[in-house]
Structure 1
Amino acid sequence: MCGITGIYAFNELGRFFSINLQQATLQLNRRGPDFLNTSLHERINLGHTRLSIIDPNPAANQPMTDPTERYTIVFNGEIYNYREIRQNLQNQGVEFSTESDTEVVLQAYIHQGVKCLQRFNGFFAFAIYDEQTQRMLFARDRLGIKPLLIYQDEDKLIFGSEMKALIRFGIEKEIDYVSLKQYLQLNYIPQPYTMLKKVRKLPAGHYLIVEGRKNQTEEAFYQIPYQGKANNGAKTYEEAQSEFAQILERSVQQRLVSDVPLGSFLSGGIDSSVIATLAARHTDQLHTFSIGYKDEPFFDETNYAQLVAKKIGAKHTVFSVSNQDMLDHIYEILNYIDEPFADSSAIAVYILSQRTKAHVTVALSGDGADELFSGYNKHAAEYRLRQNSWKVGLVKSLSGVWNALPKSRSSKIGNKIRQLARFAEGAKLSVKDRYWSWATFAQEGDVDDLFNEKIRAKAIQEVYDERKQDLLQHLQHEGVEDFNELLLTDMQLVLPSDMLTKVDLMSMANGLEVRVPFLDHEVVNFGFSLPAKYKIDANYRKKIVQDTFRDVLPKELYQRPKKGFEVPLLKWLRHDLHDMVMKDLLSDEFVEKQAIFKVEEVQKIKQKLLSNNPEDTHARVWGLLVFQHWWKKWFA
């Protein structure tokens, strides 16, 4: 895993910005602490930081140029089937000087053009420069596991793995207030947009060919294959389980290729337990890692993780973490994040990655299963609503009661009331509006009220509506059999913009590569060939995942509710981070001087945070704090 960056100058003015290449590349050193280098050409200059995984030999360092010195690549990712592709190229007479997958990617492009993208099984973001034609190819993996940001103006195109590299080149920094509006609802920014105008993320499964400013082509080389109702209903559930077990085990086995120590995250949930169990079949004494929470025993699942580790014969390590341990890392995390991202579980992922890196350089993860196979609370709620049972009618009829009662995530009863209130309100909405309501922490009107009039005018309503409708375009029907539409929306919104962004940022900040077997494109293709009833019913979420591996996992994993760890934000914001809220980033003085938000509206949010009925205010406040820290760093 690595960091990549570079510049394509369209004219002499653009070339001037190349003087910042070295410093821009240095911004990515935590992604690739093993080696840093740059490659200088007349108009195209490339930078690379390396985390050595496959073929640590210095000959495999990047930027890498082919023997003819015509083509140069900077590559971030891993190609799991690179040996097979390499052998096919050798059969055609291609010679290799390294054992790396980077050289395979380069030679595959030289001999096959963009068609090579169809052959790659892995996760990646890369750029290849052809000096003879002045052409550059940019490509990003099918599901958007690896990031690739692009800035473009009249004079230049600048790209990088992270925003901080682009900013170090000296790009124009102008806030995209439509992105800010969506961020203040979701606590992340939906791709392909970013918080800055003129900066975008190359969409998942796309490539971009650039031959100067005016000659550019962007196309998709992969889309999730769902064109309406899944057509695999003729396959029995038992047949589907058998095929799923084979496909997922093959995916796990492919992701064990590494020339450095490899392990697996093991939270104690079903997903990571399945991955670790399959991995243990193909490696000598797998090393597994979990994080325990000293001060939050309700969320501590380490006893379940230890049951799994014992059953599969893994060498298991538990990192016991206190709330203070997490608080001690908050500013470090905020300083590393180079565009606002406020999923607070990133704090726990950061610490898990940091401590895991002391033992291994690569870790497998169970990420992606919830989006692909229906594992979230909102999925269960949507399923019940579509069934339209008498229980649904009762909850809807008591909407006024739920709204009148105090709601909070910090207590079991308060959280249940909060969920019932959101369910009752969502039941009144269309499928698109309901999805958006359940995905957000703030209503659109509440965010509009937060902006001062000048900024509100910049968050152009027509652009906001267009982006939102584009994100929700697949939600067309409300039947139980149409449930895959909702999962497809999750795969294109929540997965790349929230979950994968979180894992990439927090793991790469610690020089750890995380691999996600559930997101092998063959697993994804299989998942979207299945009818919804194989994934969710009245009793189970991720039904096929649970049933397929029921006989090989400890039975205790099936005798408890699903838990997702949430850091105790409400407690922190009221106490440990009180000064950050009241005296620094959300102080009246700071907000007034910043001139983005209305002081009186921020005051209302702070008052709500301290009230007996905070609801989801702590998430909103955290989102504001993350944005304010970012703004203070780059704009103040």
Structure 2
Amino acid sequence: MCGIAGIYAQDGAVGKDMLSRMSSAIAHRGPDGEGFYYGDSIGLAHRRLSIIDITDNASQPMSDDSSEIILVYNGEIYNYIELKSELKEAGHTFRSESDTEVIIHAYKEWGFECLKRFNGMWAFALYDKVEDLLFCARDRFGIKPFYYSVSGNSFYFASEIKALLKNPELGTAPDDEKLLLYLSGGITDNDERTLFEGIFSLRPAHYMAVRRGIPENPVRYWYLSVSDKLFSAGNITDDKAAYGLYELLRDSVSLRLRSDVPVGTCLSGGLDSSTITAIISDLIRDENPLSVRNRQKTFTSCYEDERYDERVFVDEIIRKTGASGYRIFPAVDDLRTEIYDLITTQEEPFDSLSIYSQYCVMKLAGKSVKVVLDGQGADEQLAGYLGYQASHIRSLSAHPAALIREIAGIMKYHRKFFIDAAAKLKAGKKRRAYLKGDVPFTDRYAGRLDEVLANEMSGNNLQALLRYEDRNSMAFSIESRVPFLDYRLVEYIASLPLDQKIRGGITKYCLRKMTKGLIPECVRCRMDKMGFVAPDEVWFGEDLSEIVGDVFNSDEFASRKYWDAEDVLKDYNMFLSGKTGYSKDFWRLFCSEIWLRIFFDRRSELL
């Protein structure tokens, strides 16, 4: 895991001072080394976090023996050992044990098609001197970030937006439409645009060729098709579906333990992270991976308020697996001092203070390990969020008996959730009235379940979560790996009928079947959904009320064109007095205001 940046100039003029400042802006992503390459019209920068082959042989920018191919790369190719063997048989020779060198030789052997052979996470820029071509690519799910923009006659790219902002001509204004979309529904990562006007994100499963400093249209190299089959039948039995899931997930976890530095696990107490923790425990017994040794380390956020605390489930997993449990208690007093750092780290607004819990977990993990495994991606594939129930009901409209069974299951397991959700949706709709302008709104659950899940995998929700994960982990120089996003596993889950995802109101049906006997029943059968949560409502109603009130009552807040500040303050005071309920709209407004101050009002401090 690393940080990359570069400038490709049409007129041949690359500012070395500019590239150096871009590299410095992402130093936290790679504290183990810094490297530069300068050609006639291109400059590449790399910040190294040493994970695989920690010797100088794996330093970047890396070139081939002829110095005609130069690469800067962020990520991990987990099947690099197998690819290296294949390339050796084809006549390639290697001088390092790194996965970085495998990318160079894979490109030389297969060209752009090399991407289809990689199993991992990546964002890279490969310069082909002979073709005068910059080959930019991002992994299938967008686990690793790649941002770019054009200024004057030059193409700029970087792992983080803050590196691009070192050029005072880039990202000088918010994208108003994107900001309003976030304010109205929390949507940020639904397309290639960022919330900074003129700065773009290369989409997942896309590559882009830049020739002589001019970017061509991105090309999609991989597609995911989610089965619309409703019911399991024939040779698709529950046992077979669960066995196939286990085999692929176990192999995915095993691959992601390949590391020359210590690896730990983020453990929330939910189904996904508990499953990963349990599989690692089995692998320690069966394979003894050196990156974990004889006892894995887990990292958890906890709260004294039982409504937001999952220690009862975490303790069961620790007892079952024998793992070591490291815990941190995110405190509102710390949040007061870290809120600006948190929003600066994330670079774009985010949807709740659960991101602060994750931030604290990564801070804790950074004291013990350089790599963590996490459970991101399972919910979007296996319909783990309860909002997917509505999409599934829509899918069953032509099957009355199945429809009735699903509604009965929803009423049995999730009645309270939907009552509470309805109240918050009503409050959110009312609060959108104090947004100004042409306010867009996107319902992420609109459509049949297969359509919604396909969109979630390539659209907003997963992309946003992966962005949060990347920024929070890299802020503390940690590489985060996500076993549920092995493309083989994703394609397998996508091929399963929808009743392997939701059945009788039970989410993640196939995964729950798979984990019987692997994890404690109290975790396997949980019907609530938490993750690394934070007590947003309590903090906004009590501990943070003075800070939030000061922001909503400020001249800066009143001057914005996006909202009616008087209505916002009035509504917030009604919430404080108990006359209205809480919704995420308060956080979105507060977060947006702080974001505007950091990245636009005080932009000079970032240069």
Give me the TM-score of the superposition, normalised by structure 1: 0.85
> Is 1:609 aligned to 2:571, yes or no?
no
Q: How much does 1:416 deviate? A: 6.5
Aligned 8 A contact 2:155 2:214 in 1? no
For residues 233 and 413 of structure 1, what CA distance do their matches in structure 2 show? Answer: 30
Aligned 8 A contact 1:140 1:205 in 2? yes
What letter matches 1:290 in structure 2?
A: F
Question: What is the SS of the residue equivalent to 1:282?
Answer: helix
> Is 1:632 aligned to 2:597, yes or no?
yes
- Say if 1:415 and 1:231 are closer, same or farther in 2 by CA, change over 3 A: closer
Q: Identify the residue that residue 366 of structure 1 maps to in structure 2.
A: 375
Aligned 8 A contact 1:263 1:286 in 2? no
> Is 1:295 aligned to 2:304, yes or no?
yes
> Is 1:346 aligned to 2:355, yes or no?
yes
What letter matches 2:185 in structure 1?
A: L
What letter matches 2:58 in structure 1?
A: A
> Is 1:545 aligned to 2:520, yes or no?
no
Q: Identify the residue that residue 494 of structure 2 maps to in structure 1.
A: 528
Answer with 34-43 or 517-526: which moved more.
Answer: 34-43
Q: Identify the residue that residue 237 of structure 1 maps to in structure 2.
A: 238
Q: How much does 1:450 deviate? A: 2.0
Question: What is the SS of the residue equivalent to 1:170?
Answer: coil
Question: What is the SS of the residue equivalent to 1:150?
Answer: strand
For residues 313 and 224 of structure 1, what CA distance do their matches in structure 2 show? Answer: 37
Aligned 8 A contact 1:340 1:626 in 2? yes
Q: How much does 1:153 deviate? A: 4.3
Question: What is the SS of the residue equivalent to 1:624?
Answer: helix
Matches within 5 A, 1:383-532: 383=392, 389=404, 417-421=419-423, 442-443=428-429, 447=432, 449-451=434-436, 456=437, 476-477=447-448, 483-532=449-498
Q: How much does 1:77 deviate? A: 0.4
Q: How much does 1:383 deviate? A: 4.0
Question: What is the SS of the residue equivalent to 1:316?
Answer: strand
For residues 415 and 476 of structure 1, what CA distance do their matches in structure 2 show? Answer: 21
- Say if 1:202 and 1:289 are closer, same or farther in 2 by CA, change over 3 A: same
> Is 1:313 aligned to 2:315, yes or no?
no
For residues 230 and 382 of structure 1, what CA distance do their matches in structure 2 show? Answer: 12
Please list every run of 5 or more consecutive structure 2 residues that lacks an aligned counterpart in the other structure: 285-292, 397-401, 602-607
What letter matches 1:370 in structure 2?
A: D
- Say if 1:383 and 1:232 are closer, same or farther in 2 by CA, change over 3 A: closer
528, 531, 534: which one aligns with 1:562? 528
What letter matches 2:181 in structure 1?
A: Q
For residues 489 and 230 of structure 2, what CA distance do their matches in structure 1 show? Answer: 15
For residues 390 and 60 of structure 1, what CA distance do their matches in structure 2 show? Answer: 57
104, 107, 110: which one aligns with 2:108? 110
Aligned 8 A contact 2:332 2:539 in 1? no
For residues 466 and 404 of structure 2, what CA distance do their matches in structure 1 show? Answer: 35
> Is 1:271 aligned to 2:272, yes or no?
yes
Provide, for residues 214-263 of structure 1, a one-character-per-residue CA deviation record: whole Å limited to 9, x for no partner.
56242111111236447975322221111111111111111110000011
What letter matches 1:57 in structure 2?
A: T
Provide, for residues 311-356 of structure 1, a one-character-per-residue CA deviation record: whole Å limited to 9, x for no partner.
2232332334444344443232123232222332110001101101
Question: What is the SS of the residue equivalent to 2:46?
Answer: strand
Q: How much does 1:365 deviate? A: 1.1
What letter matches 1:371 in structure 2?
A: E
Aligned 8 A contact 1:268 1:557 in 2? yes
For residues 111 and 456 of structure 2, what CA distance do their matches in structure 1 show? Answer: 32
Aligned 8 A contact 1:184 1:442 in 2? no
Provide, for residues 577-604 of structure 1, a one-character-per-residue CA deviation record: whole Å limited to 9, x for no partner.
3343222x32241223444433333334
For residues 553 and 448 of structure 1, what CA distance do their matches in structure 2 show? Answer: 46
> Is 1:135 aligned to 2:133, yes or no?
yes
What letter matches 2:281 in structure 1?
A: A
What letter matches 2:255 in structure 1?
A: Q
Question: What is the SS of the residue equivalent to 2:134?
Answer: strand
Q: Identify the residue that residue 281 of structure 1 maps to in structure 2.
A: 282
Q: Identify the residue that residue 212 of structure 1 maps to in structure 2.
A: 212
What letter matches 2:575 in structure 1?
A: L
Q: How much does 1:135 deviate? A: 0.3
Answer with 145-154 or 252-261: which moved more.
Answer: 145-154
Please list every run of 5 or more consecutive structure 1 residues that lacks an aligned counterpart in the other structure: 397-411, 426-440, 478-482
567, 572, 576: which one aligns with 2:543? 576
- Say if 1:204 and 1:232 are closer, same or farther in 2 by CA, change over 3 A: farther
For residues 616 and 67 of structure 1, what CA distance do their matches in structure 2 show? Answer: 61
Aligned 8 A contact 2:149 2:157 in 1? yes
For residues 165 and 21 of structure 1, what CA distance do their matches in structure 2 show? Answer: 9
135, 160, 163: which one aligns with 1:162? 160
Question: What is the SS of the residue equivalent to 1:178?
Answer: helix
For residues 178 and 9 of structure 2, what CA distance do their matches in structure 1 show? Answer: 27
Question: What is the SS of the residue equivalent to 2:496?
Answer: coil
Q: How much does 1:520 deviate? A: 0.5
What letter matches 1:562 in structure 2?
A: D
Question: What is the SS of the residue equivalent to 2:163?
Answer: helix
Question: What is the SS of the residue equivalent to 2:387?
Answer: helix
- Say if 1:609 and 1:46 are closer, same or farther in 2 by CA, change over 3 A: farther
Provide, for residues 99-144 of structure 1, a one-character-per-residue CA deviation record: whole Å limited to 9, x for no partner.
1101111111122101110100001100001122210111000011
For residues 230 and 561 of structure 1, what CA distance do their matches in structure 2 show? Answer: 22
> Is 1:335 aligned to 2:344, yes or no?
yes
Q: Identify the residue that residue 185 of structure 1 maps to in structure 2.
A: 184
For residues 298 and 200 of structure 2, what CA distance do their matches in structure 1 show? Answer: 35
Answer with 483-492 or 608-617: which moved more.
Answer: 608-617
- Say if 1:391 and 1:115 are closer, same or farther in 2 by CA, change over 3 A: closer
For residues 520 and 256 of structure 2, what CA distance do their matches in structure 1 show? Answer: 24
Q: Identify the residue that residue 18 of structure 2 maps to in structure 1.
A: 20
For residues 534 and 467 of structure 2, what CA distance do their matches in structure 1 show? Answer: 18
33, 36, 39: which one aligns with 1:38? 36
Question: What is the SS of the residue equivalent to 1:627?
Answer: helix
Question: What is the SS of the residue equivalent to 1:159?
Answer: strand
Aligned 8 A contact 1:129 1:135 in 2? yes
- Say if 1:223 and 1:231 are closer, same or farther in 2 by CA, change over 3 A: farther
For residues 338 and 540 of structure 2, what CA distance do their matches in structure 1 show? Answer: 15
Q: Identify the residue that residue 72 of structure 1 maps to in structure 2.
A: 70
Matches within 5 A, 1:190-209: 190=189, 191-209=191-209
Provide, for residues 551-593 of structure 1, a one-character-per-residue CA deviation record: whole Å limited to 9, x for no partner.
221122245442415322233223333343222x322412234
Q: Identify the residue that residue 592 of structure 1 maps to in structure 2.
A: 558
Aligned 8 A contact 2:431 2:585 in 1? no
Q: How many residues align?
A: 580
Q: How much does 1:550 deviate? A: 0.7
Answer with 166-175 or 137-146: which moved more.
Answer: 166-175
Q: How much does 1:30 deviate? A: 1.1
For residues 49 and 218 of structure 1, what CA distance do their matches in structure 2 show? Answer: 25
What letter matches 1:568 in structure 2?
A: P
Q: Identify the residue that residue 388 of structure 2 maps to in structure 1.
A: 379
Question: What is the SS of the residue equivalent to 1:290?
Answer: strand
> Is 1:11 aligned to 2:16, yes or no?
no
Aligned 8 A contact 2:268 2:314 in 1? yes
For residues 167 and 310 of structure 1, what CA distance do their matches in structure 2 show? Answer: 47
For residues 225 and 16 of structure 2, what CA distance do their matches in structure 1 show? Answer: 41
Give me the TM-score of the superposition, normalised by structure 2: 0.88
Q: Identify the residue that residue 399 of structure 2 maps to in structure 1.
A: none
Identity %: 29
Q: How much does 1:200 deviate? A: 1.2
Answer with 138-147 or 622-631: which moved more.
Answer: 622-631
Question: What is the SS of the residue equivalent to 1:147?
Answer: coil
